[in-house]
Amino acid sequence: DTEVTQTPKHLVMGMTNKKSLKCEQHMGHRAMYWYKQKAKKPPELMFVYSYEKLSINESVPSRFSPECPNSSLLNLHLHALQPEDSALYLCASSQIDGSSGGARETQYFGPGTRLLVL
Amino acid sequence: AQSVTQPDIHITVSEGASLELRCNYSYGATPYLFWYVQSPGQGLQLLLKYFSGDTLVQGIKGFEAEFKRSQSSFNLRKPSVHWSDAAEYFCACNAGGTSYGKLTFGQGTILTVHP
């Protein structure tokens, strides 16, 4: 089973709202990722968690706050977003392969959350 | 720094025709290469990957890809396209090391299938 689930599928929020995106996997993967994808563009990496610890933050604005409460769950807390933050937010997970420096880690993606900020 | 180039932004083929999507990478050592497919509004689905060994790799949905080190290419092929193959296709590379956790994606190729 290579399933990553994400909720909600769609989200509309105002610029003053606080909302959260949720991602879950039960493949025993110990690396989890958040990506942002704008239309007609490839995904852009936002955050990487390894063993439930934040290992990469790609200079993402603080209005995005990730959280990894356990090895199966990954959240993305949203606050005071801007209209330009409207996008498809993708979660992914992978095994950790230290022997290859991470290069052999195959990322499996969820279906995404379509976010619209008004 | 590694890079991935997909020269074709948009390709149109007729149903039943053969397909080849091009991917070129730039990386000093042997890269780890992936092809993903994305239907509109959906997540990315892994089609196949190349790590080492046989340079012709088979994937899901009847796709295959061939790694050619001399040409720095990893082109995706399918002998007979089905209408359901219409989607966007991304080639990606993972170099690991200092780029740990970072997939480098090409810009994507949109495939349209005519009946």
Give yes or no for A105 touching B (CB within 8 A).
Answer: yes
Distance from CA of B40 to the nearest CA of A (A): 10
What is the number of H-type helices and E-type strands within chain B? 0, 12
Report d(CA A22, CA A50) in Å as an integer. Answer: 17
CB atoms A40 and B108 under 8 Å: yes
Picking from B106, B41, B92, B109, the residue whose alpha carbon sits closest to that of residue A87 is B41
Contacts of A45 in chain B (CB under 8 A): 101-103
CA atoms of A87 and A81, how far apart (whole Å): 12
Name A97's bridge partners.
Answer: none
Nearest to B44 among A41, A109, A114 (CB): A109
Contacts A6 to B, Cβ<8 Å: 43
pLDDT at A101: 66
Per-residue pLDDT of chain A (118 residues; tens, 9 = 90+): 669 999 999 999 999 999 999 999 999 999 999 999 999 999 999 999 999 999 989 999 999 999 999 999 999 999 999 999 999 999 999 988 777 666 678 999 999 999 999 9
Task: Determine contact: A45 vs chain B, CB below 8 A.
Answer: yes
Q: Do A106 and B101 touch (CB under 8 A)?
A: no
Question: Considering only alpha carbons, which residue of chain B is nearest residue A97?
Answer: B96
**CA–CA separation, A118 vs A114, rounded Å?**
13
The answer to whether residues A92 and A82 touch, using CB atoms and an 8 Å cutoff, is no
Q: pLDDT tens digits, residue range B64-115?
A: 999 999 999 999 999 999 999 999 999 999 876 665 668 899 999 999 999 9
DSSP B30: P
Minimal Cα distance from B31: which residue of A? A103
Place of tokens 């730039």: B26
